[in-house]
Amino acid sequence: MGKSKYTYIWVSFIILVFGIIFIPKIIDRVYKGTVVESDRMSIDMNNGNLAFIVINGEKRKVPDFAFVNQDSLLITNNDYKGKVYVVEFFFTTCPSICPIMNQNLVQIQSEFKEFDDFGVASFTINPTYDTPTVLKEYAEKYGVTNLNWNLMTGDAQGIYDLANSGFNIFASEVPSAPGGFEHAGMFALVDRNGYIRSRVDDFGNPMIYYRGTITEEDGVNDQGEQEQIGILKEDIQKLLEEK
């Protein structure tokens, strides 16, 4: 038998052993949800589900929080257990993006008004001014009616930590900025178990957040960025149907 035939047999043997040993393990990891980042992207692209945000091999979960809402009630992350909800960071005197963000959220509220397991968590980044009374007036002004929509205030550092570290959504006091604060106009989507979820882009990477500063009616902004409220509503529906 020639050397090339021996080589062929040896390579075939290695492939066979790899298949016997490793493929069942990979399949088992998929079903148990323990795939690593490189595996997760291809799986999320193929199964039609929304992606989990995976950092250092762990699914990103909403950290514990406890703040007071517009009705002066203490609200924690536990109040959202079993619910699908959207998270935003805003402030009531914001002269730029916040009005658009909250108009979009009111539209989403109307879309899902029949679902008592859908909610919104709005955290003010100007808690010194945004007292429960101010937040109550703001909620009434914008037409907040969902009982699971809490506009929350409390310790400023705690809110900034939640925004910047918990969600990686930028928020900071910047005296030179319009209104005295800067923040990203993004929405985060959270599932019933407290995990941050999103769809994937054309390359299989999680979008992570949804652009909240463009209305469906406008479609695009001056920079040519597309609105994402439409896909956010689609993804909320997916999570509401998820078992």
Per-residue pLDDT reduced to its tens digit, 85-114: 999 999 999 999 999 999 999 999 999 999
User: Which pLDDT does position 55 carry in this prediction?
Assistant: 86
What pLDDT does residue 130 have?
98
Dihedral of CA atoms 54, 119, 100, 232 in degrees, nearest 10, equals: 50
Q: What is the pLDDT of residues 36-79, one digit of tens each?
A: 333 333 333 334 689 999 988 999 999 999 999 999 999 999 99
pLDDT(34) > 50: no
Q: Which amino acid is at 207?
A: M
Cβ-based neighbour number of residue 202 at 10 Å:
6
167 is in an annotated binding site: no
Q: Give the residue ranges of DSSP H helices in 48-122.
A: 98-111
Residue the block writes with tokens 């990891």:
29
Q: How far apart are CA 141 and CA 155, in angstroms?
A: 24
- pLDDT at site 56: 87
Query: What is the pTM (predicted TM-score) of this model?
Result: 0.81
**98 annotated to a ligand binding site:** yes
94 labeled binding residue: yes
Q: Is CATH 1.10.10.10 what the domain over 51-241 is classified as, yes or no?
A: no
The yes-or-no verdict on residue 147 having pLDDT over 50 is yes
Q: Answer yes or no: are the C-beta atoms of 124 and 152 closer than 8 Å.
A: yes
Grouping H, G, I as helix, E, B as strand and the rest as coil, residue 131 is coil
Distance of alpha carbon 142 from alpha carbon 35, whole angstroms: 43
Is residue 33 within 8 A of residue 193, CB to CB? The reply is no
